[in-house]
C-alpha cells in the first residue's frame, strides 16, 4: 500500500533517470504497482541472469499499464506483464469483437504486433475488476451478483483505482450503461488503499483487483459479474519485438512461466508480499526453486 | 485546439467538482496552518529561550522535508483515506513557511517603536494588535501567499488517497493515456495557483503600502 | 514633584546599575541628567514611568508611591520621547500624535483639535503634514512630532531620553531652541537625559551629574560650572569652558590665525591669480612684496571684474587692506573688528607691515574644536 504511493513518486524519478538503453547487454523489465507483476518481473530477472549473460534491471511501480506500454514504445522498457483486457483501452483500432479469453489474447497479439510489441502465452491466471464488499454488508443486503446492487448503489460510496472512471470501454461510463447502475459517490485512489478503505468502512464498496490476497485477508466478498460486462484479463508476458531480435535467447526463457501461475498461486504470491511483507525478490526466488526452474 | 475546447465543455461539471474539492483541501490546510503557525510565531518572537526555538523550528522543518507522498501515506493508518489526511498532511506542510515569516516579521519591528509604545502606555495586548501585528503583517502575508501557492500544487497528490481534486485528471489521464485529461488537470492547477498568487499578492502590496519602513532619525 | 529615595537597581546577572540614588525633580523645571555611558542616567529616568522597577527604594510622584499604581495607567500620564524617536511607521503623523489621547479615550473632535494645535506649535502645518507618514519626514521633523506626541495628552511630566542626539547639529540646535520656547509657555516637569554637556547647559534649569550609578553633583548650570564638585566633574565639563575660573587665559589672534595663507607677488596676472585661488580653494589672495610686506588684497570678485583686461596684473587691481591687527591682540578684539566692518578675514601684520597670518572663518571654527574638546567617552564633538 505504502509502496504503491511511494511508487508513483518513483514514476517521476524513474522516467527521469531512465537513460537511453544504449547498454547492449541490459534488459529493462517494467512493472506496474501490483505485487504479482513485480514478483513476476523478479522471476524473469533471476531466470535471465541465470541462463544468459544479460543483466536485468527491474523498474517497478509504473503507475498503470498505459504508462508501461508507452515506455515500451519509446524503448525505455523491454519486457513487461500485461493483461489481455488492455486491448479495450484504445491502444489500436479493434477490427473484431473478441469475447472469449482466447479471442481476446489473439486480438491483442495481432494488435500489439503492429506497435512493435510481441505477446506471449499467458501465465494461467486472470486479474480482473471485482466489485467487493464487506461480508456483513453482503449478508445484510443479500448481495451476490452485481445486479443485486441496483437499488442500493445510489446510497453507496465506491472506491476505485485512479483510472477506472476514465477508461473508455471497461470503465464507469460503459459499466453504468451496461448495468443501469450509478453509485452515490466515487472515490478514486491508489489501488492499494481500497482494501483497507472498505474494511474500515470509509467506503461501502470497492472495485478491487481479483487476484489480490487482501480480499480474503479483510474478509471481503466479491460479487459475480452476472451480465458479463468486464472483458477477460489474462496476465501474460510481453516484450519489444526488436529486443527479441537482438537477443533471441529470450524467446526460450519467457515461455518458461507459461501456465505455471494459476489464480491460487497468484493470490499466494500477492499474499506473501502484501500481507507477510516479504520482498518481491525473495518470493520470486522461492517460487522458482519450488517449480524447479532455478537451483 | 477546438477539440480540446469541446472536451473542456463536456467535462466542465467534473472540472468544477474537482476544483471545489481542490479548493476545500488547499484553503482549509492553509487556514489551519495560519491559525497554528501565526500565534506560534508570535510566541517565539517574544520568547528568548533558544531551546524552544530550536524545538519548534526543528519539528516544523522535519515535516517539510518528508516527501509529501510519504507524509500522506504515513497519516492513513491514523486518519483513514480521503480529505481528512490530505488536509492534515498539507497543514503540516504549511507550518514552516508561515511560522518562519511570522517570526521574521515580528523580529523585524524596530525595537525603538516597541519601546516607545510601551513607554507611552500601550499594554501588552494593545502593543500586539495595534503596533506589532500591523507592522509584521506584510511579512506574514508574504508567507501565506507563498504557502498557498505551493499547497495548491501539492494538493494534486491528494487524489491518490481518495481526496479528489484536480490531480484526478492528471492521474487518470496518465492511466488511460489521454493527454487532454492530463492537460486539463495540470493547467487548471497551474492557473489556480497563479490566481491565488495574484490575488494574495494584491492584498500583500496593499498592506505593505500602509506600512512604511521605519527610518531612524540619524541624518549624520 | 518627583522624588527618588534611596533607590537601587540590581540586575539578575549581578550588575548594579544604580547604587544609592536620592533625587528630587522640581515641578515646572527641565532637569538634565548627564554622565558618561553606563552611569545610570537612562535607568534613573525609566524608573519614573516604571519601564524599570527598583530593587530597593521608593519613587513618588506628587507624594504618591508609584509602585502602587498600575504601570500602564501611569505611563499614559507621562510623556515619553526616545532617541530613535519611535514614531509608528504604519500610522500617519496625526494618528501618531493622537496615540495617547486615543488610549485615554478622548472624543474625536477634541483629539483632532489638539493634534492640529500641536502641529502648528512646532511649525508643521496640519494641512500638509497631518496625513503624511513618518518616512516622508526628515529626521528633525520626525523628532518634532515625537516631542508633540509626548505633549498630546497634556501630561505634567515628560521624559526625554537623548531625544536630539541622533540629529544633525543644525536640527539639534533648532529643536533645543524650540523646547526652551515651548517650556516657557507650558512649564512642564521635564526629565532630560543627555550625554552632551553643551545641550545640558543650554536647556536645563537643574543639572544632575551621574557616574557609575551614583549622583555626583546636582545644581544649576552656572553653579556647576563655577563650583565643580570634584576632578571628574571638572574633566567632564571641559577645562576651557570654565569661563571665569582661575586658570582662564583668553585666546589671542596668534592661536587662531592661519600662517600659510595664499600670497602672490604683485606682478602676477589675473588668470594666474584665479588659477591659484582655485587650486588652494580660497576666495581671497593677499598681495605681498618680496620682503613679505602686505600691499593689498584681491578677492575673486575683483579678479573676475577685471578679467577681460588681459594686460592687467594684481598690482593694478588690488585693493588696499584697510584693517589689520598686530600679534598678541586678543581674539575677542579681532572678532569685534571683523564684526564691525563686516570682514570675512583679518590680516595679522607686524609693526613694519610684514604679513604674519590671516584670521579666517575657517580658522575660528577650528579653534573652537580645541576649546570644546570631546567629552569623556561618548561625548560629542562640534565641527
Per-residue model confidence as pLDDT tens digits over C142-194: 888 998 899 898 899 999 999 888 888 888 888 888 888 888 888 899 999 99
User: A202 and B181 in contact by Cβ < 8 A?
Assistant: no
pLDDT in tens, C330-347: 888 888 888 888 888 888
The pLDDT value recorded for residue C285 is: 85
> Residue B177 and residue A165: Cβ atoms within 8 Å?
no
**Between residues A29 and C15, the one the model is more confident about:** A29
Task: Please give the domain boundaries of chain B with CATH numbers for all domains.
Answer: 2-215 (1.10.3720.10)
Crossing angle of helices A280-290 and A263-270, rounded to 10°: 140
Question: With a CB-CB cutoff of 8 Å, which residues 75-134 of chain B face chain A?
Answer: 76, 80-82
- Alpha helices by DSSP H, listed for chain A, are 2-17, 35-51, 65-73, 101-113, 135-141, 172-179, 194-199, 214-217, 241-246, 250-253, 263-270, 280-290
User: Is the Cβ pair A188, B67 closer than 8 Å?
Assistant: no
What integer pLDDT is reported at residue C379 of this predicted model? 40
High-pLDDT (> 90) share of chain C, %: 20
- Tens digit of each residue's pLDDT (9 = 90 or more) over C355-378: 888 888 878 777 776 665 544 444
Average pLDDT, chain B: 86
Q: Which of B69, B81, B173 minimises the CB distance to A8?
A: B69
> Under CATH, which architecture does the A2-126+232-290 domain have?
3-Layer(aba) Sandwich (3.40)
Share of chain C above pLDDT 70, in %: 93
Of the residues B176, B180, B182, B183, the best mutation for testing chain A's interface (the one with the most A CB atoms within 10 Å of its CB) is B176
More confident residue, A69 or B73: A69
Answer yes or no: are the C-beta atoms of C163 and C83 closer than 8 Å. Answer: yes
Specify the pLDDT at position B214: 42
Query: C-alpha angle B32/B37/B41, rounded to 5°?
Result: 160
pLDDT tens sequence across A30-82? 999 889 999 999 999 999 999 999 999 999 998 889 899 999 999 999 999 99
Per-residue pLDDT tens over the stretch C196-235: 888 888 899 999 999 888 898 898 888 887 788 888 887 7
| SS3 assignment for C304-351 | HHCCCCCCCEHHHHCECCCCEECCCCEHHHHHHHHHHHCCCEEEEECC
Contact between residue A186 and residue A100 where contact means Cβ atoms under 8 Å apart = no
Q: Write down the pLDDT at residue B219.
A: 29
DSSP structure class, residue A108: H
Determine, for residues B122 and C159 on separate chains, whether the beta-carbon distance falls below 8 Å. Answer: no
Q: What proportion of chain B, given as a percentage, has pLDDT over 90?
A: 38
Per-residue model confidence (pLDDT) at position C169: 83
A23 touches B at CB < 8 Å: no
DSSP 3-state of A133: strand
User: Per-residue pLDDT tens for C82-102?
Assistant: 887 788 988 999 999 999 999
pLDDT the model gives residue C250: 67
Q: How confident is the model at residue C381 (pLDDT cuts 50, 70, 90)?
A: very low
B50 CA to centre of own chain:
26
Q: How far is C150 from chain B (nearest CA, A)?
A: 8
B interface residues, C as partner, C-beta within 8 Å: 110, 112-113, 115-123, 126, 131, 134-135, 210-220
Q: Tell me which chain C residues have a C-beta less than 8 angstroms from the C-beta of B123.
A: 72
pLDDT at C193: 93
Q: Which fold has domain A129-222?
A: D-Maltodextrin-Binding Protein; domain 2 (3.40.190)
Are B171 and A63 an interchain contact pair (Cβ–Cβ within 8 Å)? yes
Q: How many CA atoms lie within 13 A of C112 on its CB side?
A: 5
The rounded Cα C352 to chain-centroid distance in angstroms is 43
DSSP state of A60: -
pLDDT at A104: 92
- In eight-state DSSP terms, residue B16 is H
Q: Is B100 helix (H, G, I), strand (E, B) or coil?
A: helix
Under 8 Å between Cβ of B94 and B37: yes
Can you tell me the distance from the alpha carbon of A238 to that of B3, in angstroms, rounded to the nearest whole number? 34
Q: How confident is the model at residue A29 (pLDDT cuts 50, 70, 90)?
A: very high
Task: Give the gap in angstroms from C-alpha B42 to the nearest C-alpha of chain C.
Answer: 19
Condensed to tens digits (0 to 9), the pLDDT of residues B155-200 reads 999 898 889 899 999 998 888 878 888 999 999 999 999 999 999 9
Percent of chain A with pLDDT over 70: 94
Q: What pLDDT is stored for residue C383 in this prediction?
A: 33
Q: Among B15, B172, B186, which would you mutate to test the A interface (most chain A Cβ atoms within 10 Å of its Cβ)?
A: B172
Lowest mean pLDDT among A49-58, A241-250, B8-17, C296-305: C296-305
Taking the domains of chain A in order of start, what are their residue ranges? 2-126+232-290, 129-222
As a whole number of angstroms, the distance between CA B96 and CA C175 comes to 47
- Express as a percent the part of chain A with pLDDT over 90: 67
| Min Cα separation B61/chain A (Å) | 21
The single residue listed with the C-alpha cell 573676475 is: C304
Which of A149-163, A165-179, C162-176 is the least confident region?
C162-176
For residue C60, what pLDDT band results from cuts at 50, 70 and 90?
very high
**pLDDT classification of C240: cutoffs 50, 70, 90:** low
**B162 → closest Cβ in A66, A90, A187:** A187
Q: Predicted confidence band at A270 (pLDDT cuts at 50, 70, 90)?
A: very high
Flag whether A touches C (3+ CB pairs, 8 A cutoff): no
Given pLDDT bands bounded at 50, 70 and 90, which one contains residue C241? low
For residue A186, give the H/E element and its range.
strand A185-188
Grade residue A139 by pLDDT with cuts at 50, 70 and 90: very high
Instruction: Give per-residue burial for B123-149: e unless 16+ CB within 10 Å, then b.
Output: beeebeebbbbbbbbbbbbbbbbbbbb
C85 and B CB contact within 8 Å: yes
Mean pLDDT within C109-119:
91
Q: How far C186 CA lies from chain B's nearest CA (Å)?
A: 20
When pLDDT is cut at 50, 70 and 90, the band that residue B81 belongs to is confident
Instruction: Name the pLDDT band for C17 (thresholds 50, 70, 90).
Output: confident
pLDDT of residue A117: 94
Residue contact C135–B215, C-beta within 8 A: yes
Task: Label the pairing between strands C263-264 and C78-81.
Answer: unpaired
Query: Is the predicted pLDDT of residue C382 greater than 80, yes or no?
Result: no
CB of A294 within 8 A of CB of A50?
yes
For B116, the closest of C86, C138, C143 (CB atoms) is C86
Give the mean model confidence (pLDDT) for residues B84-94: 91
Q: What is the mean pLDDT of residues C270-295?
A: 83
Q: Is the CB of A165 less than 8 angstroms away from the CB of B164? A: no
Name which of A93-107, B109-123, B150-164, C273-287 the model is least confident about: C273-287
Nearest CB to C139 within list B110, B115, B218: B218
Decide if pLDDT at B70 tops 90.
no
Q: Does an H or E element contain B126, and which? A: helix B124-126
Residues of C in contact with B140 (CB under 8 A): none
Mean pLDDT of the C71-76 span: 91
Residue A161's nearest CA partner among A150, A176, A171 is A171
Residues of A in contact with B159 (CB under 8 A): 162, 188-189
Does position C380 have pLDDT exceeding 50, yes or no? Answer: no
Nearest-by-Cβ selection for A190 from B80, B160, B172: B160
Residues 6+ apart with CB under 8 A from C56: C6, C7, C8
- Please, which chains are in contact with C (at least 3 CB pairs closer than 8 A)? B
Measured between beta carbons, the chain C residues lying within 8 angstroms of B131 are 88
The owner of cell 453509485 is: A183
Residue B59 pLDDT greater than 50, yes or no: yes
Residue of B nearest to A159 (CA): B162
Q: pLDDT per residue over B110-155, tens digit each?
A: 888 888 899 988 988 898 988 999 899 989 999 999 999 989 999 9
Choose the weakest-confidence range: A171-175, B120-124, B200-204, C262-266. C262-266
Half-sphere exposure of A135 (CA within 13 A, CB side): 6
Q: Helix, strand, coil: what percent of chain A each, to 5?
A: 45, 15, 40
Band the pLDDT of A18: cuts 50, 70, 90: low
Q: Say how many C-beta atoms besides its own lie within 10 A of residue C177's C-beta.
A: 12
A13 interfacial to chain B (CB closer than 8 Å): no
User: How far, in Å, CA of C278 to CA of C274, rounded?
Assistant: 6
- DSSP at A273: I
Single out the residue of A72, A60, A69 nearest to residue A89, CA to CA. Answer: A69
C290-300: pLDDT as tens digits: 888 888 888 88
Tell me the chain B residues in contact with residue C142 when contact means C-beta distances shorter than 8 Å: 215, 217
Please check the confidence at residue C258 and state whether its pLDDT lies above 60. Answer: yes
User: With contact defined as beta carbons under 8 Å apart, do C158 and C150 qualify?
Assistant: yes
Yes or no, beta carbons of B174 and A67 under 8 Å apart: yes
Contact (CB<8Å) B217/C168: no
User: Taking the complete model, does pTM exceed 0.90, yes or no?
Assistant: no
Say whether residue B153 is in contact with chain A using an 8 A CB cutoff. no
- Could you give the angle at which helices B83-107 and B68-79 cross, rounded to 10 degrees? 120
In B, which residues are within 8 Å of C85 by CB distance? 112, 116, 216-217
Q: Which candidate in B162, B165, B183, B184 is best for mutational testing of the A interface (most A CBs within 10 A)?
A: B162
- Segment A138-145 shows an average pLDDT of 91
Interchain contact, B214 vs C49, CB within 8 Å: no
pLDDT score at C330: 82
Looking at the complex, does the CB of residue A185 fall below 8 Å from at least one CB of chain B? no
Choose among C82, C83, C90: nearest Cβ to B211: C90
Cβ distance of A64 and B175 shorter than 8 Å? yes
Amino acid at each position: 500500500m505504502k509502496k504503491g504511493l511511494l511508487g508513483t513518486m518513483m514514476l517521476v524519478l524513474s522516467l527521469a533517470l531512465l537513460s537511453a538503453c544504449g547498454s547492449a547487454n541490459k534488459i529493462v523489465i517494467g512493472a506496474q504497482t501490483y505485487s504479482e507483476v513485480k514478483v513476476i518481473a523478479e522471476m524473469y530477472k533471476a531466470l535471465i541472469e541465470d541462463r544468459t549473460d544479460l543483466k536485468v534491471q527491474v523498474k517497478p511501480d509504473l503507475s498503470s499499464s498505459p504508462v508501461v506500454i508507452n515506455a515500451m514504445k519509446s524503448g525505455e522498457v523491454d519486457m513487461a506483464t500485461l493483461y489481455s483486457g488492455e486491448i479495450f483501452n484504445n491502444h489500436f483500432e479493434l477490427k473484431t469483437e473478441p469475447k472469449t479469453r482466447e479471442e481476446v489474447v489473439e486480438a491483442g497479439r495481432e494488435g500489439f504486433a503492429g506497435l512493435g510489441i510481441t505477446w506471449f502465452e499467458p501465465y494461467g491466471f486472470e486479474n480482473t475488476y471485482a466489485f467487493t464488499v464487506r461480508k456483513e454488508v453482503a449478508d445484510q443486503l443479500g448481495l451476490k451478483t452485481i445486479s443485486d446492487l441496483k437499488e442500493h448503489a445510489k446510497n453507496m460510496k465506491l472506491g476505485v483505482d485512479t483510472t477506472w472512471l476514465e477508461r473508455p470501454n471497461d470503465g464507469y461510463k460503459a459499466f453504468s450503461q451496461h448495468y443501469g447502475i450509478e453509485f452515490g459517490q466515487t472515490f478514486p485512489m491508489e489501488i492499494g488503499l481500497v482494501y483497507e478503505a472498505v474494511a474500515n468502512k470509509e467506503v461501502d464498496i470497492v472495485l478491487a483487483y481479483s487476484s489480490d490476497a487482501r480480499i480474503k485477508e479483510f474478509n471481503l466478498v466479491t460479487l459475480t459479474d452476472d451480465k458479463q460486462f468486464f472483458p477477460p484479463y489474462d496476465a501474460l508476458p510481453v516484450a519489444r519485438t526488436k529486443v527479441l531480435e537482438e537477443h533471441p535467447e529470450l524467446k526460450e526463457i519467457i515461455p518458461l512461466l507459461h501456465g505455471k501461475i494459476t489464480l491460487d498461486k497468484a493470490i499466494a504470491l500477492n499474499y506473501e508480499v502484501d500481507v507477510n511483507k516479504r520482498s518481491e525478490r525473495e518470493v520470486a526466488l522461492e517460487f522458482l526453486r519450488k517449480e524447479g526452474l532455478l537451483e | 485546439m477546438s477539440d480540446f475546447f469541446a472536451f473542456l465543455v463536456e467535462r466542465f461539471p467534473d472540472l468544477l467538482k474537482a476544483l471545489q474539492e481542490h479548493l476545500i483541501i488547499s484553503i482549509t490546510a492553509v487556514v489551519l496552518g495560519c491559525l497554528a503557525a501565526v500565534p506560534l510565531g508570535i510566541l517565539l518572537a517574544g520568547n528568548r529561550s533558544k531551546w524552544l526555538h530550536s524545538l519548534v523550528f526543528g519539528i516544523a522543518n522535519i515535516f517539510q522535508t518528508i516527501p509529501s507522498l510519504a507524509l500522506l501515506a504515513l497519516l492513513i493508518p491514523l486518519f483513514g483515506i480521503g480529505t481528512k489526511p490530505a488536509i492534515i498532511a498539507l497543514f503540516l506542510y504549511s507550518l514552516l513557511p508561515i511560522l518562519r515569516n511570522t517570526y521574521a516579521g515580528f523580529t523585524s519591528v524596530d525595537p525603538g517603536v516597541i519601546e516607545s509604545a510601551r513607554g507611552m502606555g500601550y499594554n501588552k495586548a494593545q502593543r500586539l494588535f495595534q503596533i506589532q501585528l500591523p507592522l509584521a503583517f506584510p511579512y506574514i502575508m508574504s508567507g501565506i501567499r507563498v504557502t498557498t501557492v505551493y499547497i495548491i500544487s501539492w494538493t494534486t497528490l491528494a487524489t491518490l488517497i481518495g481526496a479528489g481534486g484536480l490531480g484526478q485528471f492528471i492521474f487518470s489521464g496518465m492511466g488511460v493515456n489521454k493527454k487532454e485529461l492530463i492537460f486539463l488537470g495540470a493547467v487548471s492547477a497551474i492557473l489556480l495557483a497563479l490566481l491565488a498568487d495574484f490575488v494574495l499578492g494584491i492584498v500583500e502590496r496593499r498592506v505593505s503600502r500602509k506600512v512604511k519602513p521605519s527610518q531612524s532619525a540619524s541624518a549624520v | 514633584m518627583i522624588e527618588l529615595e534611596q533607590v537601587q537597581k540590581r540586575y539578575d546577572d549581578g550588575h548594579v546599575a544604580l547604587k544609592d540614588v536620592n533625587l528630587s525633580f522640581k515641578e515646572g523645571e527641565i532637569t538634565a541628567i548627564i554622565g558618561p555611558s553606563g552611569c545610570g542616567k537612562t535607568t534613573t529616568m525609566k524608573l519614573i514611568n516604571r519601564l524599570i522597577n527598583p530593587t530597593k527604594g521608593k519613587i513618588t510622584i506628587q507624594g504618591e508611591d508609584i509602585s502602587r499604581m498600575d504601570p500602564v495607567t501611569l505611563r499614559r500620564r507621562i510623556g515619553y520621547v526616545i532617541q530613535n524617536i519611535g514614531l509608528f511607521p504604519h500610522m500617519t503623523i496625526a494618528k501618531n500624535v493622537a496615540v495617547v489621547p486615543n488610549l485615554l479615550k478622548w472624543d474625536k473632535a477634541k483629539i483632532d483639535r489638539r493634534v492640529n494645535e500641536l502641529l502648528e506649535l512646532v511649525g508643521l502645518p496640519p494641512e500638509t503634514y497631518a496625513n503624511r507618514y513618518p518616512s516622508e519626514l526628515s529626521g528633525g521633523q520626525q523628532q518634532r512630532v515625537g516631542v508633540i506626541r509626548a505633549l498630546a495628552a497634556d501630561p505634567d511630566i515628560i521624559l526625554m531620553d537623548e531625544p536630539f542626539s541622533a540629529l544633525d547639529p543644525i536640527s539639534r540646535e533648532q529643536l533645543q531652541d524650540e523646547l526652551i520656547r515651548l517650556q516657557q509657555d507650558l512649564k512642564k516637569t521635564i526629565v532630560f537625559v543627555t550625554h552632551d554637556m553643551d545641550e545640558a547647559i543650554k536647556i536645563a534649569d537643574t543639572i544632575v551629574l551621574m557616574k557609575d550609578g551614583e549622583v555626583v553633583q546636582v545644581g544649576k548650570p552656572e553653579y556647576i560650572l563655577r563650583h565643580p564638585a570634584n576632578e571628574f566633574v571638572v574633566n567632564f565639563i571641559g577645562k576651557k569652558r570654565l569661563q571665569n575660573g582661575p586658570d582662564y587665559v583668553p585666546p589671542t589672534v596668534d592661536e587662531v590665525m592661519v600662517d600659510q595663507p595664499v600670497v602672490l607677488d604683485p606682478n602676477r596676472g589675473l588668470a594666474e591669480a584665479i588659477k591659484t585661488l582655485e587650486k588652494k580653494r580660497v576666495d581671497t589672495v593677499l598681495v605681498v612684496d618680496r620682503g613679505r610686506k602686505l600691499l593689498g588684497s584681491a578677492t575673486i570678485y575683483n579678479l573676475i571684474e577685471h578679467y577681460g583686461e588681459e594686460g592687467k596684473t594684481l598690482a593694478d587691481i588690488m585693493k588696499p587692506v584697510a584693517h589689520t591687527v598686530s600679534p598678541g591682540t586678543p581674539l575677542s578684539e579681532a572678532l569685534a573688528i571683523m564684526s564691525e566692518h563686516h570682514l570675512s578675514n583679518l590680516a595679522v601684520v607686524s609693526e613694519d607691515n610684514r604679513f604674519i597670518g590671516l584670521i579666517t572663518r575657517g580658522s575660528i571654527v577650528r579653534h573652537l574644536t580645541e576649546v570644546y574638546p570631546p567629552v569623556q567617552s561618548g561625548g560629542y564633538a562640534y565641527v
